[in-house]
């Protein structure tokens, strides 16, 4: 029988993007607040949005950052890096250029003290195989994010999983993003559309359309994904709000993924990090559109003892509630779910370090 997992509580600073980009708080202040208000100990950061000049990181800054993390009692978990092959206006990166671009970011992750670099779906199995010895050189695990409109049993993800098995590197894995397993259109986003003048009748039709796609399950291929995207655009146009069509489509097909919770079993042994994606907390203190309790139960029962970074995505449209209060509420749901499954979330920094070292150590030996 698999031993129950003890996930480490954490947060990604992406959750506070609105406050950070609005100059309400700087990076140091944000890290200190995360520590003081108990949203850690796990700390995930997005490289390009948080570190000036990234991926170039000088030794002095790296030392100051490591000292700050140690002083505040947090534990670095994952550095989100980019695999953008379109950084030039006139051409895409060549394969050699992409590998070097990723190498520089992996090196930055190591220098800053992050054991995991979250990479993106634009990296192919060939790219991941080529990056494996680089990851091993720097001691940084590459955890490719499985994010809607992808899902664990998607052919692209299974192709990556199969290549991981062939390569046999313990430094290749996945980041599980809960947005792939949403159970309903986020009420907070419906409220945002309502504030933009969308009628209740139109919003009811949007919900009905999303629910119909949910019953069908994830799209089988890009053609079906495109058809669903087009259906949202058409619905908006037919109901007098063509200006909302693309927005409906982006969120309805690219942010709210309709895969089922047990779909994650396809890649569970390779999950190295988790994005606890959510969009809001209702008056009952629950997440109404993401099955947080079921997802935590699955992870605990499968023996997962890595970090869960609470990732509040509702900031894109919700500017009337504090992201700090919402993170605290969502993490309370996670802790409750772990306890209900007979385990617990790790909130002590020293224990978190031991747990995470063991988690990645087990991965190295797998």
Neighbours of 67 (CB within 10 A): 10
Q: What is the pLDDT along the chain (366 residues), one digit of tens a residue?
A: 689 999 999 999 999 999 998 999 999 999 999 999 999 999 999 999 999 999 999 999 999 999 999 999 999 999 999 998 888 999 999 999 999 999 999 999 999 999 999 999 989 999 999 999 999 999 999 999 999 999 999 999 999 999 999 999 999 999 999 999 999 999 999 999 999 999 999 999 999 999 999 999 999 889 999 999 999 999 999 999 999 999 999 999 999 999 999 999 999 999 999 999 999 999 999 999 999 999 999 999 999 999 999 999 999 999 989 999 999 999 999 999 999 999 999 999 999 999 999 998 865 444
Q: Which of 254, 283, 306 is the last residue of a domain?
A: 254
Q: Say if residue 84 is in the same domain as residue 224.
A: no
**pLDDT at site 128:** 98
Q: Say if residue 278 is in the same domain as residue 215.
A: no
Q: Say if residue 166 is in the same domain as residue 194.
A: no
The reply to whether the predicted model has a pTM over 0.85 is yes
Q: Say if residue 119 is in the same domain as residue 21.
A: yes
Dmax over Cα atoms in the chain, in whole Å?
Answer: 58
**pLDDT at site 220:** 87
Between helix 95-112 and helix 59-72 the angle, nearest 10°, is 50
* Total tally of structural domains belonging to the chain: 2
**pLDDT at site 366:** 43
Q: Which residue has the tokens 């359309």?
A: 209
Q: Say if residue 87 is in the same domain as residue 162.
A: yes
**Domain annotation covers residue 275:** yes
CB 226 within 8 A of CB 254: no
**Which residues 6+ apart lie within 8 Å of 110 measured at CB?**
138, 139, 140
Domain assignment of residue 325, given as a range = 8-181+259-365
**pLDDT at site 365:** 45
Alpha helices (runs of H) in the chain, residue ranges in sequence order? 17-21, 27-36, 47-50, 59-72, 95-112, 125-138, 155-167, 187-195, 200-216, 222-238, 245-254, 292-301, 323-340, 349-365
What CATH number does the domain containing 38 carry? 3.20.20.150
Q: Say if residue 162 is in the same domain as residue 210.
A: no
Q: Say if residue 177 is in the same domain as residue 193.
A: no
**Domain annotation covers residue 3:** no
Q: Say if residue 68 is in the same domain as residue 48.
A: yes
Q: Which residues are catalytic?
A: 147
Q: Say if residue 65 is in the same domain as residue 194.
A: no
Helix (H, G, I), strand (E, B) or coil at 106: helix
**pLDDT at site 226:** 95
Q: Say if residue 227 is in the same domain as residue 152.
A: no
For 291, the token pair is 């099955």
Q: Say if residue 193 is in the same domain as residue 279.
A: no
Q: Which of 199, 225, 254 is the last residue of a domain?
A: 254
**pLDDT at site 163:** 98
């Amino acid at each position: 029988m698999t031993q129950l997992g003890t996930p480490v509580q954490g947060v990604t600073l992406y959750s506070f993007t609105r406050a950070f980009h609005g100059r309400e708080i700087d990076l140091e202040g944000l890290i200190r607040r995360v520590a003081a208000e108990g949203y850690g100990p796990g700390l995930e950061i997005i490289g390009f949005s948080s570190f000036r000049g990234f991926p170039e990181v000088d030794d002095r800054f790296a030392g100051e950052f490591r000292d700050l993390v140690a002083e505040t009692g947090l534990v670095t978990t994952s550095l989100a890096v980019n695999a953008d092959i379109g950084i030039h206006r006139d051409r895409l990166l060549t394969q050699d250029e992409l590998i070097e671009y990723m190498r520089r970011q992996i090196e930055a992750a190591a220098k800053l003290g992050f054991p995991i670099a979250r990479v993106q779906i634009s990296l192919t199995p060939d790219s991941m195989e080529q990056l494996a010895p680089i990851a091993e050189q720097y001691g940084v695990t590459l955890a490719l994010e499985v994010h809607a409109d992808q899902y664990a049993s998607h052919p692209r993800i299974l192709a990556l999983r199969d290549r991981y098995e062939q390569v046999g590197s313990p430094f290749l894995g996945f980041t599980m993003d809960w947005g792939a397993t949403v159970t309903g259109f986020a009420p907070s986003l419906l409220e945002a559309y309502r504030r933009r003048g969308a009628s209740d009748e139109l919003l009811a039709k949007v919900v009905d359309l999303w629910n119909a796609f949910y019953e069908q399950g994830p799209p089988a291929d890009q053609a079906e994904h495109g058809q669903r995207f087009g259906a949202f655009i058409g619905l908006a146009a037919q109901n007098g709000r063509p200006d909302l069509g693309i927005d409906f489509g982006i969120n309805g097909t690219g942010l709210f993924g309709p895969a089922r919770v047990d779909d994650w079993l396809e890649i569970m042994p390779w999950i190295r990090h988790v994005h606890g994606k959510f969009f809001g907390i209702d008056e009952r203190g629950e997440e109404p559109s993401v099955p947080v309790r079921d997802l935590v139960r699955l992870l605990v029962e499968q023996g997962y003892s890595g970090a869960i970074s609470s990732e509040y995505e509702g900031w894109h449209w919700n500017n009337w509630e504090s992201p700090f209060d919402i993170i605290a509420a969502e993490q309370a749901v996670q802790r409750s779910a772990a306890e209900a499954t007979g385990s617990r979330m790790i909130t002590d920094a020293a224990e978190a370090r031991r747990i995470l070292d063991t988690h990645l150590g087990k991965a190295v030996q797998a």
